Amino acid sequence: MRIVSIAVSRKKGTRKHSVDTVELLEDYGISGDAHAGKWHRQVSFLASESIDRARDQGLEVTFGDFAENIATTGIEWKTVPVGTRYRLGQTALVEITQIGKECHNKCAIYYKAGDCIMPKEGVFARVIQGGIVRCGDPVEQLS
């Protein structure tokens, strides 16, 4: 289980741009990302396998297009129970707080991609312990 992409954006509801490294801040989220804050959806995750399936269905998408912060390989996020904790890299620790989400309006992502898989396959977490996270870092399930 590894991080294959990290992406951030300054505005909610928009595509995120890829970066190599981010700092996760305890009980806040990713430094500089629009979704950071004192709430339960500080960091979003999506399986790279889900993005691959969207591509296989003809969508021209890449990492960050679904507004996910972190894409991983080897984890089927939509099956992970709320409350599960994961270590990211050396020190960061997150706890899953929500599976999927309700989209009230079709956002820019939907119109660009033709569909959005985040509402069905993405998960959200809060940061329990901060740290630096890089593409290629391991992801370890703790509980």
Query: Of all residues in the chain, what percent carry a pLDDT higher than 90?
Result: 64
- Cβ burial 89-98 (10 Å sphere, 16+ → b, else e): beebbbbbbe
pLDDT number for residue 107: 55
**Third-level CATH fold of 2-141:** M1 Pyruvate Kinase; Domain 3 (2.40.33)
**Residue 34 burial class via C-beta count within 10 angstroms: exposed 0-12, middle 13-18, buried 19 and up:** middle
Residue pLDDT, tens place only, 7-63: 999 988 777 999 999 999 999 999 999 999 999 999 999 999 988 988 887 777 888
- For residue 82, pLDDT over 80 is answered with yes
CB 47 within 8 A of CB 71: yes
- What's the pTM? 0.87
- Any idea where the domains of the chain sit in the sequence? 2-141
User: Helix %, strand %, coil % for the chain, to 5?
Assistant: 15, 35, 50
For residue 53, the one-letter residue type is R
| Residue 104: per-residue pLDDT | 52
